[in-house]
């Protein structure tokens, strides 16, 4: 078991990365018992993950009492409606402040569950058990929780840290190829914004990652979690450096909102958004054309889109981006790479340049 720690003082927590945690009897009980009461647990998952891992998770927990809440699969259900449904279910189950809430699933379940846990009785403990690559390397770590609104993605939520994150790499073997590829977009992001050597390692290990070789998966997940843990420890509430983690997201969220949540997977939209960000940086003479090609080539190797939807105009992007959380004093802020391994937050992008890139 590999452990990465998120250092946040009294709210610090471990990220456990390993194999077979969900299928080994009492493994979760052993990992969590020192930090948490396991007398009463509610597991929140979706109707795709439940048949695969819910029973195994319950056995591995060996808790005194386990309730469940099943949410329909899909980004469209990361909504205020399902947030309210979960609150109702917790009340009906007589959940209390000593009830442990477990998010078992991908980013939608993790974000929705975390926000529900943050609000129920003003905060109850929760644990993330992410089952997709995207959630393992990104959304399960760092305490961002939220639901979507038709006018913007993740616009209603809270910063609320989990008690622990438990990553079982075996769950990736049941992950559809498209979902795995979407997760690789976030993996690649870390190399672009923070670690040029990691980006080069990804270029050299495409086959191992595509074949889901355990050592390659564990290293990639561990390195992403290390980078995110360091950034979150320095800037928990995204006042500065943490915004770098949103490379590609300003454009990507616009794609998701315009196309309808779920039509493009989050990682697919982020992939296209990262290439757009590279093109903007290239127009500003911050990034070389060869580096933009390296980014788009690596994304394409994982069957990720490297262009936005053909039916989206620059006006469509800008309309949605004006609702982005990073807008400050009326100006859209962009995360742009200055080289592979380094990125900056800037509002110095004029409309003409943006229109030229977006078409």
58 vs 166: CA distance, rounded Å: 14
Q: From the CB of residue 235, how many other CB atoms can be counted at a distance below 10 Å? A: 15
Secondary structure element (H or E) that encloses residue 174, with its range: none
Catalytic-labelled residue, pool 59, 153, 223, 253:
253
- The reply to whether 253 belongs to the active site is yes
- The reply to whether 40 belongs to the active site is no
Angle made by CA atoms 224, 227, 229, in degrees to the nearest 5: 105
Catalytic-labelled residue, pool 78, 228, 320, 326:
228
Catalytic-labelled residue, pool 46, 67, 148, 246:
246
Secondary structure element (H or E) that encloses residue 336, with its range: strand 334-339
Angle made by CA atoms 234, 231, 12, in degrees to the nearest 5: 70
88 vs 59: CA distance, rounded Å: 26
- The reply to whether 173 belongs to the active site is no
303 vs 79: CA distance, rounded Å: 29
- The reply to whether 78 belongs to the active site is no
- The reply to whether 246 belongs to the active site is yes
Catalytic-labelled residue, pool 16, 78, 223, 266:
266
Rg of the Cα trace of the chain?
A: 20
Stated length of the chain: 359
Q: From the CB of residue 38, how many other CB atoms can be counted at a distance below 10 Å? A: 17
Catalytic-labelled residue, pool 249, 320, 325, 333:
249
Catalytic-labelled residue, pool 16, 78, 144, 320:
144
Catalytic-labelled residue, pool 10, 34, 122, 329:
122
- The reply to whether 228 belongs to the active site is yes
- The reply to whether 212 belongs to the active site is no
Catalytic-labelled residue, pool 186, 236, 258, 291:
186
Contact 252, 269 (CB under 8 A): yes
300 vs 11: CA distance, rounded Å: 39
| Residue positions annotated with a catalytic role | 122, 144, 186, 228, 238, 242, 246, 249, 253, 266
């Amino acid at each position: 078991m590999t452990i990465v720690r998120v250092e946040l003082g009294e709210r610090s927590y471990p990220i456990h990365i390993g194999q077979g945690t969900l299928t080994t009897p009492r493994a979760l009980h052993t990992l969590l018992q020192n930090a948490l009461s396991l007398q009463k647990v509610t597991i929140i998952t979706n109707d795709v993950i439940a048949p695969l891992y819910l029973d195994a998770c319950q056995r591995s927990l060996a808790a005194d009492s386990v309730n469940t809440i099943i949410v329909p699969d899909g980004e469209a259900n990361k909504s205020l409606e399902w947030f309210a449904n979960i609150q109702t279910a917790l009340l009906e189950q007589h959940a209390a402040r000593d009830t442990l809430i477990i998010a078992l699933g991908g980013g939608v379940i993790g974000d929705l569950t975390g926000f529900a846990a943050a609000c129920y009785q003003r905060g109850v403990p929760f644990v993330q058990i992410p089952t997709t690559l995207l959630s393992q390397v990104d959304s399960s770590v760092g305490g961002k929780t939220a639901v979507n609104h038709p006018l913007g993605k993740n616009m209603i939520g809270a910063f609320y840290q989990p008690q622990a994150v438990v990553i079982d790499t075996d769950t990736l073997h049941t992950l559809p190829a498209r979902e795995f590829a979407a997760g690789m977009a976030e993996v690649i992001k870390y190399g672009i914004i923070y670690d040029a050597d990691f980006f080069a390692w990804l270029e050299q290990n495409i086959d191992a990652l595509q074949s889901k070789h355990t050592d390659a998966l564990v290293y990639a997940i561990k390195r992403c979690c290390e980078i995110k843990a360091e950034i979150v420890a320095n800037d928990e509430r995204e006042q500065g450096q943490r915004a770098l983690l949103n490379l590609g997201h300003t454009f990507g969220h616009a794609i998701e909102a315009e196309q309808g949540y779920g039509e493009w997977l989050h990682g697919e939209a982020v992939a296209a958004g990262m290439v757009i960000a590279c093109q903007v940086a290239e127009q500003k003479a911050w990034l070389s054309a060869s580096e933009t090609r390296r980014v788009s080539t690596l994304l394409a190797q994982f069957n990720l889109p490297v262009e936005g939807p053909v039916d989206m105009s620059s006006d469509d992007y800008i309309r949605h981006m004006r609702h982005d959380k990073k807008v400050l004093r009326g100006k859209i802020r962009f995360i742009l790479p200055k080289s592979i391994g380094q990125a900056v937050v800037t509002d110095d992008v004029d409309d003409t340049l943006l229109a030229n890139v977006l078409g």
